Structure 1
Amino acid sequence: MITRQEINGKAPMNYNWFDVNELNDSDTRQLKRLFRLTPEIIDYVSDRHERPHYDFDIHTQSELVVYDVPLWPDKVTAHFTTRPIIFLLQGTTVFTFHTDETAYVFEQFKQEKVKEIKNATEFIMTFLLHAAKYFNQALDKLNVERNRLDKNLNNHIVNTDLRHLAQIEKSLVYLSSSIKTNLVMLESLRHTPLTLQITKEAQEKLDDILIETEQASRMVQISNEVTEKISTTSNNILNNNLNDTMKFLTVWSLILTIPTIMTGFFGMNVKLPGAQFPLAWIAIIILNIVFMAWLYFYLKKNHFL
Protein backbone atom coordinates (compact mmCIF):
# COMPACT_ATOMS: atom_id res chain seq x y z
CA MET A 1 0.00 0.00 0.00
CA ILE A 2 1.34 3.44 -1.00
CA THR A 3 0.68 6.25 1.47
CA ARG A 4 1.80 9.86 1.44
CA GLN A 5 3.19 10.44 4.90
CA GLU A 6 3.34 13.39 7.26
CA ILE A 7 5.77 14.34 10.02
CA ASN A 8 4.49 15.85 13.25
CA GLY A 9 1.01 16.01 11.79
CA LYS A 10 1.87 17.99 8.65
CA ALA A 11 3.24 17.30 5.20
CA PRO A 12 6.91 18.20 4.60
CA MET A 13 7.43 21.53 2.84
CA ASN A 14 10.56 20.88 0.78
CA TYR A 15 10.07 17.25 -0.21
CA ASN A 16 7.47 14.48 -0.50
CA TRP A 17 7.49 11.23 1.45
CA PHE A 18 5.66 8.20 0.09
CA ASP A 19 5.68 5.09 2.26
CA VAL A 20 5.12 1.69 0.61
CA ASN A 21 4.17 -1.15 2.94
CA GLU A 22 4.03 -4.73 1.62
CA LEU A 23 4.64 -3.90 -2.03
CA ASN A 24 2.18 -5.76 -4.28
CA ASP A 25 1.38 -5.92 -8.00
CA SER A 26 -1.08 -3.02 -7.79
CA ASP A 27 1.52 -0.84 -6.08
CA THR A 28 4.10 -1.84 -8.69
CA ARG A 29 1.85 -0.76 -11.56
CA GLN A 30 1.11 2.53 -9.80
CA LEU A 31 4.79 3.25 -9.17
CA LYS A 32 5.63 2.57 -12.81
CA ARG A 33 2.75 4.69 -14.11
CA LEU A 34 2.89 7.69 -11.79
CA PHE A 35 6.56 7.85 -10.84
CA ARG A 36 8.21 6.17 -13.84
CA LEU A 37 10.12 3.63 -11.75
CA THR A 38 12.07 1.19 -13.90
CA PRO A 39 11.73 -2.61 -13.62
CA GLU A 40 15.31 -2.75 -12.27
CA ILE A 41 14.42 -0.42 -9.39
CA ILE A 42 11.24 -2.38 -8.72
CA ASP A 43 13.31 -5.56 -8.45
CA TYR A 44 15.57 -3.89 -5.90
CA VAL A 45 12.81 -2.52 -3.69
CA SER A 46 10.77 -5.74 -3.77
CA ASP A 47 13.64 -7.96 -2.62
CA ARG A 48 13.10 -8.75 1.07
CA HIS A 49 16.62 -10.10 1.40
CA GLU A 50 18.50 -7.24 -0.26
CA ARG A 51 21.82 -6.55 1.48
CA PRO A 52 22.62 -3.03 2.75
CA HIS A 53 24.21 -0.92 0.04
CA TYR A 54 23.97 2.35 -1.88
CA ASP A 55 23.17 2.48 -5.59
CA PHE A 56 22.89 5.38 -8.04
CA ASP A 57 21.06 5.12 -11.36
CA ILE A 58 22.53 7.74 -13.67
CA HIS A 59 19.73 7.38 -16.23
CA THR A 60 16.84 8.08 -13.85
CA GLN A 61 18.91 10.08 -11.32
CA SER A 62 17.60 7.77 -8.61
CA GLU A 63 19.47 6.99 -5.42
CA LEU A 64 18.82 3.78 -3.50
CA VAL A 65 19.80 3.21 0.13
CA VAL A 66 19.25 -0.20 1.72
CA TYR A 67 19.60 -0.49 5.52
CA ASP A 68 19.03 -3.52 7.76
CA VAL A 69 17.03 -3.33 10.99
CA PRO A 70 16.60 -6.05 13.63
CA LEU A 71 13.49 -8.19 14.01
CA TRP A 72 12.60 -9.28 17.54
CA PRO A 73 12.05 -13.00 18.29
CA ASP A 74 8.52 -14.34 17.98
CA LYS A 75 6.67 -17.65 18.21
CA VAL A 76 7.96 -18.77 14.82
CA THR A 77 11.60 -17.62 15.12
CA ALA A 78 13.15 -17.85 18.58
CA HIS A 79 16.13 -15.62 17.76
CA PHE A 80 16.80 -12.15 16.35
CA THR A 81 16.91 -11.79 12.59
CA THR A 82 17.20 -8.76 10.30
CA ARG A 83 15.28 -7.34 7.36
CA PRO A 84 16.02 -4.40 5.06
CA ILE A 85 14.23 -1.09 4.82
CA ILE A 86 14.78 0.70 1.52
CA PHE A 87 14.96 4.41 0.70
CA LEU A 88 14.55 5.58 -2.89
CA LEU A 89 15.31 9.22 -3.62
CA GLN A 90 14.18 10.86 -6.85
CA GLY A 91 14.77 14.58 -6.82
CA THR A 92 12.75 15.88 -3.88
CA THR A 93 10.64 12.73 -3.51
CA VAL A 94 11.54 10.03 -1.02
CA PHE A 95 10.05 6.54 -1.18
CA THR A 96 10.40 4.14 1.75
CA PHE A 97 9.74 0.44 1.27
CA HIS A 98 9.19 -1.99 4.12
CA THR A 99 7.11 -4.95 5.28
CA ASP A 100 4.80 -5.52 8.23
CA GLU A 101 7.75 -7.03 10.10
CA THR A 102 9.72 -3.77 9.97
CA ALA A 103 6.71 -1.47 10.31
CA TYR A 104 7.53 -0.86 13.98
CA VAL A 105 10.47 1.36 12.94
CA PHE A 106 8.17 3.62 10.91
CA GLU A 107 5.44 3.76 13.52
CA GLN A 108 7.86 4.86 16.25
CA PHE A 109 9.55 7.33 13.91
CA LYS A 110 6.23 9.06 13.27
CA GLN A 111 5.50 9.20 16.99
CA GLU A 112 8.80 10.88 17.85
CA LYS A 113 8.97 14.66 17.92
CA VAL A 114 11.16 15.16 14.87
CA LYS A 115 12.17 18.75 14.35
CA GLU A 116 11.55 20.31 10.95
CA ILE A 117 13.67 18.56 8.33
CA LYS A 118 14.97 20.78 5.57
CA ASN A 119 15.30 18.37 2.66
CA ALA A 120 15.05 14.78 1.52
CA THR A 121 18.70 13.95 2.28
CA GLU A 122 18.33 15.18 5.84
CA PHE A 123 15.14 13.13 6.14
CA ILE A 124 17.00 9.94 5.17
CA MET A 125 19.81 10.69 7.64
CA THR A 126 17.30 11.42 10.41
CA PHE A 127 15.48 8.17 9.73
CA LEU A 128 18.70 6.16 9.63
CA LEU A 129 19.77 7.68 12.96
CA HIS A 130 16.40 6.65 14.38
CA ALA A 131 16.74 3.10 13.01
CA ALA A 132 20.34 2.66 14.20
CA LYS A 133 19.35 2.71 17.86
CA TYR A 134 17.40 -0.55 17.56
CA PHE A 135 20.59 -2.59 17.21
CA ASN A 136 21.81 -1.32 20.57
CA GLN A 137 18.41 -2.12 22.08
CA ALA A 138 18.57 -5.65 20.66
CA LEU A 139 22.10 -6.13 22.01
CA ASP A 140 21.05 -4.85 25.44
CA LYS A 141 18.23 -7.39 25.51
CA LEU A 142 20.58 -10.20 24.48
CA ASN A 143 23.13 -9.22 27.12
CA VAL A 144 20.50 -9.27 29.87
CA GLU A 145 19.30 -12.70 28.73
CA ARG A 146 22.87 -14.01 28.46
CA ASN A 147 23.74 -12.81 31.97
CA ARG A 148 20.66 -14.58 33.31
CA LEU A 149 21.63 -17.80 31.56
CA ASP A 150 25.22 -17.48 32.77
CA LYS A 151 23.97 -17.28 36.35
CA ASN A 152 21.74 -20.33 35.84
CA LEU A 153 24.49 -22.34 34.16
CA ASN A 154 26.88 -21.60 37.01
CA ASN A 155 24.43 -23.26 39.38
CA HIS A 156 23.09 -26.11 37.29
CA ILE A 157 23.35 -26.89 33.58
CA VAL A 158 20.07 -27.86 31.93
CA ASN A 159 19.23 -28.41 28.28
CA THR A 160 16.68 -25.57 28.19
CA ASP A 161 19.30 -22.98 29.14
CA LEU A 162 21.73 -24.40 26.60
CA ARG A 163 19.09 -24.11 23.87
CA HIS A 164 18.45 -20.49 24.87
CA LEU A 165 22.19 -19.84 24.74
CA ALA A 166 22.29 -21.31 21.23
CA GLN A 167 19.50 -18.92 20.19
CA ILE A 168 21.54 -16.00 21.51
CA GLU A 169 24.51 -17.16 19.42
CA LYS A 170 22.27 -17.30 16.33
CA SER A 171 20.95 -13.81 17.10
CA LEU A 172 24.47 -12.43 17.37
CA VAL A 173 25.40 -13.92 14.00
CA TYR A 174 22.47 -12.17 12.29
CA LEU A 175 23.05 -8.86 14.09
CA SER A 176 26.81 -8.91 13.54
CA SER A 177 26.44 -9.53 9.80
CA SER A 178 23.88 -6.74 9.36
CA ILE A 179 25.79 -4.23 11.49
CA LYS A 180 28.97 -4.81 9.48
CA THR A 181 27.23 -4.39 6.12
CA ASN A 182 25.34 -1.34 7.42
CA LEU A 183 28.64 0.19 8.51
CA VAL A 184 30.24 -0.43 5.11
CA MET A 185 27.24 1.16 3.38
CA LEU A 186 27.25 4.20 5.70
CA GLU A 187 30.96 4.80 5.24
CA SER A 188 30.52 4.64 1.47
CA LEU A 189 27.84 7.37 1.62
CA ARG A 190 30.56 9.97 2.18
CA HIS A 191 31.65 9.51 -1.43
CA THR A 192 28.27 9.36 -3.18
CA PRO A 193 26.04 11.95 -4.92
CA LEU A 194 23.72 11.74 -1.89
CA THR A 195 26.19 13.73 0.22
CA LEU A 196 27.54 16.13 -2.42
CA GLN A 197 25.24 18.96 -1.29
CA ILE A 198 24.49 17.67 2.18
CA THR A 199 23.47 20.19 4.84
CA LYS A 200 25.42 20.69 8.05
CA GLU A 201 22.59 19.12 10.07
CA ALA A 202 22.47 16.07 7.76
CA GLN A 203 26.27 15.70 7.97
CA GLU A 204 26.09 15.75 11.77
CA LYS A 205 23.40 13.07 11.66
CA LEU A 206 25.53 10.92 9.36
CA ASP A 207 28.43 11.25 11.79
CA ASP A 208 26.10 10.27 14.66
CA ILE A 209 24.85 7.24 12.69
CA LEU A 210 28.43 6.09 12.09
CA ILE A 211 29.23 6.48 15.79
CA GLU A 212 26.10 4.50 16.78
CA THR A 213 26.86 1.77 14.26
CA GLU A 214 30.53 1.51 15.22
CA GLN A 215 29.51 1.28 18.86
CA ALA A 216 27.03 -1.48 18.01
CA SER A 217 29.75 -3.26 16.01
CA ARG A 218 32.08 -3.27 19.03
CA MET A 219 29.27 -4.32 21.36
CA VAL A 220 28.24 -7.26 19.21
CA GLN A 221 31.87 -8.39 18.92
CA ILE A 222 32.34 -8.32 22.69
CA SER A 223 28.97 -9.97 23.27
CA ASN A 224 29.80 -12.70 20.78
CA GLU A 225 33.14 -13.41 22.46
CA VAL A 226 31.55 -13.58 25.92
CA THR A 227 28.77 -15.85 24.67
CA GLU A 228 31.29 -18.18 23.02
CA LYS A 229 33.26 -18.37 26.29
CA ILE A 230 30.12 -19.23 28.24
CA SER A 231 29.16 -21.87 25.68
CA THR A 232 32.66 -23.37 25.68
CA THR A 233 32.79 -23.41 29.48
CA SER A 234 29.37 -25.06 29.69
CA ASN A 235 30.43 -27.74 27.22
CA ASN A 236 33.64 -28.36 29.17
CA ILE A 237 31.68 -28.72 32.40
CA LEU A 238 29.25 -31.15 30.75
CA ASN A 239 32.12 -33.20 29.38
CA ASN A 240 33.82 -33.21 32.77
CA ASN A 241 30.59 -34.31 34.46
CA LEU A 242 30.21 -37.09 31.91
CA ASN A 243 33.78 -38.24 32.56
CA ASP A 244 33.14 -38.28 36.30
CA THR A 245 29.97 -40.30 35.78
CA MET A 246 31.72 -42.82 33.54
CA LYS A 247 34.59 -43.09 36.06
CA PHE A 248 32.14 -43.71 38.90
CA LEU A 249 30.27 -46.40 36.95
CA THR A 250 33.51 -48.09 35.84
CA VAL A 251 34.98 -48.21 39.35
CA TRP A 252 31.86 -49.64 40.97
CA SER A 253 31.47 -52.12 38.13
CA LEU A 254 34.94 -53.43 38.99
CA ILE A 255 34.20 -53.57 42.72
CA LEU A 256 30.90 -55.39 42.21
CA THR A 257 32.63 -57.90 39.93
CA ILE A 258 34.35 -59.48 42.98
CA PRO A 259 31.19 -60.91 44.67
CA THR A 260 29.94 -61.99 41.24
CA ILE A 261 33.09 -64.05 40.65
CA MET A 262 33.24 -65.54 44.15
CA THR A 263 29.57 -66.44 44.38
CA GLY A 264 29.88 -67.91 40.91
CA PHE A 265 32.59 -70.28 42.08
CA PHE A 266 30.78 -71.36 45.20
CA GLY A 267 27.48 -71.61 43.40
CA MET A 268 28.71 -74.43 41.18
CA ASN A 269 27.20 -77.86 41.80
CA VAL A 270 30.60 -79.47 42.67
CA LYS A 271 32.52 -80.10 45.88
CA LEU A 272 34.65 -77.12 46.84
CA PRO A 273 37.11 -76.68 49.76
CA GLY A 274 35.29 -75.50 52.89
CA ALA A 275 31.85 -75.93 51.34
CA GLN A 276 30.99 -78.58 53.95
CA PHE A 277 31.19 -76.16 56.86
CA PRO A 278 27.81 -74.80 58.00
CA LEU A 279 29.11 -71.20 58.25
CA ALA A 280 30.95 -71.23 54.95
CA TRP A 281 28.62 -68.60 53.51
CA ILE A 282 29.67 -66.16 56.27
CA ALA A 283 33.29 -66.68 55.36
CA ILE A 284 32.46 -66.03 51.70
CA ILE A 285 30.71 -62.77 52.62
CA ILE A 286 33.69 -61.66 54.72
CA LEU A 287 36.10 -62.49 51.90
CA ASN A 288 33.95 -60.49 49.46
CA ILE A 289 33.94 -57.49 51.78
CA VAL A 290 37.72 -57.73 52.32
CA PHE A 291 38.52 -57.90 48.61
CA MET A 292 36.02 -55.18 47.75
CA ALA A 293 37.45 -52.88 50.44
CA TRP A 294 40.99 -53.58 49.26
CA LEU A 295 40.09 -52.76 45.65
CA TYR A 296 38.23 -49.63 46.72
CA PHE A 297 41.19 -48.22 48.67
CA TYR A 298 43.61 -49.26 45.93
CA LEU A 299 41.63 -47.34 43.30
CA LYS A 300 41.27 -44.38 45.62
CA LYS A 301 44.99 -44.31 46.38
CA ASN A 302 45.75 -44.26 42.64
CA HIS A 303 43.22 -41.44 42.07
CA PHE A 304 40.65 -43.47 40.17
CA LEU A 305 38.05 -42.18 42.62
Structure 2
Amino acid sequence: MTTEDTFHWQIINGKQPAEQTLLRTKYHITEEVITYALDEDESPHAELDRATGTFLLIYNVPRDQPEDDIYDAPLTFIIKGMTLLVVDNGTTLRVSDKLYRTLAQTDTTSPFSALFTCLVKLTDMFAPLVQTVDNERKAIVPELRRHTTKKALLRLSDLSLRADYLSRSAKQNTMVLRQVHAHPIYQRFTVGEEEQLADVVIEADQVLEMAELSSHTLDHLSQTYDSILNNNLNDVMKFMTVWSLLLTVPTIVTGFYGMNVPLPAQHSPWGWIITIGITLALWLVMGAFLHRWMK
Protein backbone atom coordinates (compact mmCIF):
# COMPACT_ATOMS: atom_id res chain seq x y z
CA MET A 1 0.00 0.00 0.00
CA THR A 2 1.80 3.12 -1.16
CA THR A 3 0.89 6.76 -0.81
CA GLU A 4 2.63 10.07 -0.59
CA ASP A 5 0.74 11.05 2.56
CA THR A 6 2.45 10.95 5.95
CA PHE A 7 1.46 8.29 8.45
CA HIS A 8 -0.39 9.71 11.45
CA TRP A 9 -1.90 8.08 14.52
CA GLN A 10 -3.99 9.26 17.47
CA ILE A 11 -5.63 7.67 20.49
CA ILE A 12 -9.15 8.94 21.14
CA ASN A 13 -10.96 8.80 24.47
CA GLY A 14 -14.49 8.18 23.25
CA LYS A 15 -16.01 9.23 26.56
CA GLN A 16 -14.87 12.82 26.00
CA PRO A 17 -17.43 14.82 23.94
CA ALA A 18 -14.64 17.02 22.56
CA GLU A 19 -12.81 14.00 21.16
CA GLN A 20 -16.02 12.61 19.71
CA THR A 21 -16.39 15.94 17.89
CA LEU A 22 -12.81 15.55 16.69
CA LEU A 23 -13.73 12.24 15.07
CA ARG A 24 -16.57 13.92 13.18
CA THR A 25 -14.95 17.19 12.17
CA LYS A 26 -11.26 16.45 11.68
CA TYR A 27 -11.35 12.83 10.56
CA HIS A 28 -14.88 12.76 9.10
CA ILE A 29 -15.80 9.45 10.75
CA THR A 30 -19.43 8.47 10.20
CA GLU A 31 -21.93 8.22 13.04
CA GLU A 32 -22.31 4.49 12.42
CA VAL A 33 -18.61 3.86 13.00
CA ILE A 34 -18.58 6.12 16.07
CA THR A 35 -21.52 4.18 17.50
CA TYR A 36 -19.62 0.91 16.99
CA ALA A 37 -16.54 2.38 18.66
CA LEU A 38 -18.41 3.59 21.77
CA ASP A 39 -20.48 0.44 22.31
CA GLU A 40 -19.06 -1.45 25.30
CA ASP A 41 -20.80 -4.65 24.18
CA GLU A 42 -19.74 -4.59 20.53
CA SER A 43 -18.40 -7.92 19.28
CA PRO A 44 -15.03 -8.09 17.48
CA HIS A 45 -15.31 -7.74 13.73
CA ALA A 46 -13.69 -6.06 10.75
CA GLU A 47 -15.31 -4.18 7.91
CA LEU A 48 -14.47 -1.71 5.15
CA ASP A 49 -16.68 1.21 4.19
CA ARG A 50 -15.84 1.51 0.49
CA ALA A 51 -17.70 4.82 0.15
CA THR A 52 -15.47 6.60 2.68
CA GLY A 53 -12.44 4.31 2.52
CA THR A 54 -12.69 3.68 6.26
CA PHE A 55 -11.43 0.37 7.63
CA LEU A 56 -12.82 -0.64 11.04
CA LEU A 57 -11.48 -3.36 13.31
CA ILE A 58 -12.81 -4.10 16.80
CA TYR A 59 -10.64 -6.29 19.03
CA ASN A 60 -11.09 -7.74 22.52
CA VAL A 61 -8.62 -6.41 25.10
CA PRO A 62 -8.30 -6.78 28.90
CA ARG A 63 -10.71 -4.51 30.76
CA ASP A 64 -9.32 -2.03 33.29
CA GLN A 65 -11.79 -3.07 35.99
CA PRO A 66 -13.41 -6.52 35.52
CA GLU A 67 -17.16 -6.55 36.09
CA ASP A 68 -19.08 -9.73 36.99
CA ASP A 69 -16.11 -11.84 35.88
CA ILE A 70 -16.07 -10.12 32.48
CA TYR A 71 -12.40 -9.46 31.84
CA ASP A 72 -12.51 -8.13 28.29
CA ALA A 73 -13.82 -5.09 26.46
CA PRO A 74 -13.80 -4.00 22.81
CA LEU A 75 -11.16 -1.59 21.52
CA THR A 76 -11.71 0.02 18.15
CA PHE A 77 -9.13 0.69 15.43
CA ILE A 78 -10.03 2.93 12.51
CA ILE A 79 -7.81 3.36 9.45
CA LYS A 80 -8.65 6.10 6.99
CA GLY A 81 -6.04 6.92 4.42
CA MET A 82 -2.73 7.12 6.26
CA THR A 83 -4.33 7.76 9.63
CA LEU A 84 -4.69 5.16 12.41
CA LEU A 85 -7.18 6.01 15.16
CA VAL A 86 -7.49 4.01 18.37
CA VAL A 87 -10.86 4.72 19.99
CA ASP A 88 -11.23 3.82 23.67
CA ASN A 89 -14.79 3.53 25.00
CA GLY A 90 -13.66 4.29 28.56
CA THR A 91 -13.18 0.74 29.84
CA THR A 92 -9.64 0.17 28.55
CA LEU A 93 -7.79 3.39 29.34
CA ARG A 94 -4.79 1.52 30.79
CA VAL A 95 -4.50 -0.52 27.62
CA SER A 96 -4.66 2.68 25.57
CA ASP A 97 -1.81 4.13 27.61
CA LYS A 98 0.35 1.10 26.77
CA LEU A 99 -0.56 1.41 23.10
CA TYR A 100 0.45 5.06 23.21
CA ARG A 101 3.95 4.04 24.25
CA THR A 102 4.00 1.27 21.62
CA LEU A 103 2.95 3.59 18.82
CA ALA A 104 5.32 6.33 19.98
CA GLN A 105 8.23 3.92 19.67
CA THR A 106 7.28 2.45 16.30
CA ASP A 107 9.10 3.70 13.21
CA THR A 108 6.66 2.33 10.66
CA THR A 109 5.14 4.49 7.94
CA SER A 110 2.14 2.22 7.35
CA PRO A 111 -1.10 2.38 9.37
CA PHE A 112 -1.71 -1.36 8.88
CA SER A 113 1.80 -2.20 10.05
CA ALA A 114 1.20 -0.07 13.16
CA LEU A 115 -2.16 -1.77 13.64
CA PHE A 116 -0.62 -5.24 13.59
CA THR A 117 2.11 -4.11 15.99
CA CYS A 118 -0.64 -3.04 18.39
CA LEU A 119 -2.56 -6.30 17.94
CA VAL A 120 0.49 -8.40 18.86
CA LYS A 121 0.87 -6.33 22.03
CA LEU A 122 -2.82 -6.68 22.89
CA THR A 123 -2.90 -10.41 22.21
CA ASP A 124 0.06 -11.03 24.50
CA MET A 125 -1.82 -9.29 27.34
CA PHE A 126 -4.19 -12.26 27.65
CA ALA A 127 -1.45 -14.80 28.42
CA PRO A 128 -0.81 -13.51 32.00
CA LEU A 129 -4.56 -13.59 32.69
CA VAL A 130 -4.76 -17.24 31.65
CA GLN A 131 -1.65 -18.03 33.71
CA THR A 132 -3.26 -16.38 36.75
CA VAL A 133 -6.30 -18.65 36.35
CA ASP A 134 -4.03 -21.71 36.15
CA ASN A 135 -2.10 -20.65 39.26
CA GLU A 136 -5.32 -20.15 41.25
CA ARG A 137 -6.56 -23.54 40.09
CA LYS A 138 -3.36 -25.20 41.29
CA ALA A 139 -3.86 -23.52 44.68
CA ILE A 140 -7.49 -24.65 45.03
CA VAL A 141 -7.08 -28.32 44.06
CA PRO A 142 -5.05 -29.36 47.17
CA GLU A 143 -7.62 -27.61 49.36
CA LEU A 144 -10.46 -29.51 47.68
CA ARG A 145 -8.62 -32.80 48.11
CA ARG A 146 -8.19 -32.17 51.82
CA HIS A 147 -11.71 -30.98 52.43
CA THR A 148 -14.39 -30.25 49.83
CA THR A 149 -15.96 -27.07 51.18
CA LYS A 150 -18.65 -24.88 49.70
CA LYS A 151 -16.26 -21.92 49.68
CA ALA A 152 -13.63 -23.82 47.67
CA LEU A 153 -16.25 -25.08 45.22
CA LEU A 154 -17.53 -21.53 44.68
CA ARG A 155 -13.96 -20.38 43.97
CA LEU A 156 -13.60 -23.23 41.48
CA SER A 157 -16.86 -22.20 39.84
CA ASP A 158 -15.70 -18.58 39.57
CA LEU A 159 -12.42 -19.69 38.02
CA SER A 160 -14.25 -21.87 35.51
CA LEU A 161 -16.46 -18.93 34.53
CA ARG A 162 -13.43 -16.65 34.18
CA ALA A 163 -11.63 -19.20 32.01
CA ASP A 164 -14.72 -19.51 29.80
CA TYR A 165 -14.81 -15.73 29.29
CA LEU A 166 -11.11 -15.63 28.42
CA SER A 167 -11.50 -18.54 26.02
CA ARG A 168 -14.47 -16.88 24.33
CA SER A 169 -12.60 -13.59 24.05
CA ALA A 170 -9.51 -15.27 22.56
CA LYS A 171 -11.65 -17.19 20.07
CA GLN A 172 -13.41 -14.02 18.91
CA ASN A 173 -10.03 -12.37 18.34
CA THR A 174 -8.75 -15.26 16.23
CA MET A 175 -11.95 -15.16 14.21
CA VAL A 176 -11.65 -11.44 13.44
CA LEU A 177 -8.00 -11.90 12.42
CA ARG A 178 -8.98 -14.64 9.98
CA GLN A 179 -11.75 -12.37 8.79
CA VAL A 180 -9.11 -9.75 7.89
CA HIS A 181 -7.06 -12.43 6.14
CA ALA A 182 -10.06 -13.40 4.00
CA HIS A 183 -11.12 -9.78 3.36
CA PRO A 184 -10.45 -8.24 -0.07
CA ILE A 185 -8.33 -5.57 1.64
CA TYR A 186 -5.75 -8.29 2.30
CA GLN A 187 -4.83 -8.16 -1.39
CA ARG A 188 -3.61 -4.60 -0.87
CA PHE A 189 -1.17 -5.48 1.93
CA THR A 190 2.57 -5.41 1.38
CA VAL A 191 4.61 -8.57 2.00
CA GLY A 192 5.73 -7.13 5.34
CA GLU A 193 2.16 -6.44 6.41
CA GLU A 194 1.11 -9.96 5.43
CA GLU A 195 3.91 -11.36 7.58
CA GLN A 196 2.88 -9.17 10.49
CA LEU A 197 -0.72 -10.36 10.22
CA ALA A 198 0.52 -13.96 10.15
CA ASP A 199 2.51 -13.28 13.35
CA VAL A 200 -0.60 -11.89 15.05
CA VAL A 201 -2.61 -14.95 14.01
CA ILE A 202 0.06 -17.26 15.46
CA GLU A 203 0.08 -15.35 18.76
CA ALA A 204 -3.73 -15.36 18.89
CA ASP A 205 -3.87 -19.11 18.21
CA GLN A 206 -1.38 -19.76 21.03
CA VAL A 207 -3.41 -17.67 23.47
CA LEU A 208 -6.60 -19.43 22.36
CA GLU A 209 -4.99 -22.83 22.91
CA MET A 210 -3.87 -21.80 26.41
CA ALA A 211 -7.31 -20.42 27.28
CA GLU A 212 -9.20 -23.46 25.96
CA LEU A 213 -6.87 -25.87 27.78
CA SER A 214 -7.39 -23.95 31.03
CA SER A 215 -11.15 -23.88 30.49
CA HIS A 216 -11.35 -27.62 29.69
CA THR A 217 -9.23 -28.48 32.75
CA LEU A 218 -11.50 -26.48 35.04
CA ASP A 219 -14.62 -28.00 33.46
CA HIS A 220 -13.18 -31.48 34.06
CA LEU A 221 -12.43 -30.62 37.70
CA SER A 222 -15.92 -29.24 38.20
CA GLN A 223 -17.50 -32.37 36.74
CA THR A 224 -15.27 -34.58 38.90
CA TYR A 225 -16.25 -32.84 42.12
CA ASP A 226 -19.90 -32.79 41.05
CA SER A 227 -19.71 -36.58 40.74
CA ILE A 228 -18.00 -36.87 44.12
CA LEU A 229 -20.67 -34.74 45.79
CA ASN A 230 -23.44 -36.76 44.12
CA ASN A 231 -21.86 -40.00 45.33
CA ASN A 232 -21.55 -38.60 48.84
CA LEU A 233 -25.18 -37.56 48.76
CA ASN A 234 -26.20 -41.05 47.62
CA ASP A 235 -24.23 -42.58 50.50
CA VAL A 236 -25.94 -40.29 52.99
CA MET A 237 -29.36 -41.12 51.58
CA LYS A 238 -28.59 -44.84 51.79
CA PHE A 239 -27.51 -44.48 55.40
CA MET A 240 -30.64 -42.48 56.27
CA THR A 241 -32.83 -45.08 54.58
CA VAL A 242 -31.22 -47.96 56.50
CA TRP A 243 -31.33 -46.08 59.79
CA SER A 244 -34.99 -45.12 59.38
CA LEU A 245 -35.90 -48.75 58.62
CA LEU A 246 -33.96 -50.03 61.62
CA LEU A 247 -35.68 -47.50 63.88
CA THR A 248 -39.04 -49.03 63.00
CA VAL A 249 -38.07 -52.36 64.62
CA PRO A 250 -38.35 -51.26 68.29
CA THR A 251 -41.65 -49.55 67.53
CA ILE A 252 -43.10 -52.68 65.97
CA VAL A 253 -41.91 -55.02 68.74
CA THR A 254 -43.03 -52.82 71.63
CA GLY A 255 -46.26 -52.07 69.78
CA PHE A 256 -47.19 -55.75 69.89
CA TYR A 257 -46.71 -55.85 73.64
CA GLY A 258 -48.78 -52.71 74.02
CA MET A 259 -51.82 -54.35 72.42
CA ASN A 260 -54.54 -56.09 74.38
CA VAL A 261 -53.59 -59.45 72.86
CA PRO A 262 -52.11 -62.43 74.81
CA LEU A 263 -48.41 -62.82 73.93
CA PRO A 264 -45.65 -65.15 75.21
CA ALA A 265 -43.82 -63.89 78.32
CA GLN A 266 -46.25 -60.99 78.50
CA HIS A 267 -46.42 -61.18 82.30
CA SER A 268 -42.91 -62.52 82.88
CA PRO A 269 -40.54 -60.41 85.01
CA TRP A 270 -38.01 -60.95 82.21
CA GLY A 271 -40.40 -59.64 79.56
CA TRP A 272 -38.50 -56.42 78.99
CA ILE A 273 -35.27 -58.35 78.43
CA ILE A 274 -37.07 -60.67 76.01
CA THR A 275 -38.41 -57.60 74.15
CA ILE A 276 -34.94 -56.12 73.85
CA GLY A 277 -33.60 -59.48 72.68
CA ILE A 278 -36.25 -59.79 69.97
CA THR A 279 -35.51 -56.21 68.89
CA LEU A 280 -31.77 -56.83 68.68
CA ALA A 281 -32.28 -60.07 66.76
CA LEU A 282 -34.56 -58.38 64.25
CA TRP A 283 -32.08 -55.50 63.99
CA LEU A 284 -29.28 -57.87 63.13
CA VAL A 285 -31.34 -59.78 60.57
CA MET A 286 -32.70 -56.64 58.92
CA GLY A 287 -29.30 -54.92 59.06
CA ALA A 288 -27.60 -57.86 57.32
CA PHE A 289 -30.33 -57.99 54.69
CA LEU A 290 -30.20 -54.23 54.02
CA HIS A 291 -26.40 -54.27 53.91
CA ARG A 292 -26.43 -56.89 51.15
CA TRP A 293 -29.29 -55.15 49.33
CA MET A 294 -27.66 -51.70 49.41
CA LYS A 295 -24.36 -52.85 47.91
| Structure 1 and Structure 2 fold alike (TM over 0.5) | yes
Q: Which amino acid aligns with 2:27?
A: F
CA distance in 1 between counterparts of 2:276 and 2:265 reads 14
Match of 2:75 in 1: 85
Cα distance, 1:92–1:135 mapped onto 2, change above 3 Å: same
- TM (norm. structure 2) is 0.86
Match of 1:231 in 2: 222
Matches within 5 A, 1:151-300: 151-190=142-181, 191-193=183-185, 196-198=188-190, 200=192, 202-268=193-259, 272-300=263-291
Match of 2:84 in 1: 94
Bigger mean CA offset, 84-93 vs 95-104: 95-104
Q: In structure 2, the residue corresponding to 1:65 is in which secondary structure?
A: strand
Q: Which amino acid aligns with 2:210?
A: M
How many angstroms does 1:211 deviate by?
0.8
Q: Which amino acid aligns with 1:177?
A: R
Match of 1:54 among 38, 46, 68: 46
Q: Alignment identity in percent? A: 29
Q: In structure 2, the residue corresponding to 1:35 is in which secondary structure?
A: coil
Match of 1:107 in 2: 97
Q: Which amino acid aligns with 2:54?
A: S
**RMSD between aligned alpha carbons?**
2.6
Please tell me whether the aligned partners of residues 61 and 72 of structure 2 are also in contact (alpha carbons under 8 angstroms).
Answer: yes
Q: In structure 1, the residue corresponding to 2:294 is in which secondary structure?
A: coil
CA distance in 1 between counterparts of 2:100 and 2:32 reads 30
Deviations 1:248-268 (A, max 9, x none): 111111122111111122234
Which ranges of structure 2 fall in alignment gaps of 5 or more residues?
A: none
CA distance in 1 between counterparts of 2:255 and 2:63 reads 68
Matches within 5 A, 1:8-27: 14-27=6-19
Match of 1:69 in 2: 61
Please tell me whether the aligned partners of residues 70 and 80 of structure 1 are also in contact (alpha carbons under 8 angstroms).
Answer: no
CA distance in 2 between counterparts of 1:70 and 1:154 reads 32
Cα distance, 1:92–1:115 mapped onto 2, change above 3 Å: closer
Match of 1:36 in 2: 28
Please tell me whether the aligned partners of residues 72 and 80 of structure 1 are also in contact (alpha carbons under 8 angstroms).
Answer: no
Q: Which amino acid aligns with 1:47?
A: D
CA distance in 1 between counterparts of 2:230 and 2:194 reads 54
Q: How many residues align?
A: 289
CA distance in 2 between counterparts of 1:60 and 1:80 reads 34
Bigger mean CA offset, 115-124 vs 58-67: 115-124
Cα distance, 1:88–1:220 mapped onto 2, change above 3 Å: same
Please tell me whether the aligned partners of residues 183 and 210 of structure 1 are also in contact (alpha carbons under 8 angstroms).
Answer: yes
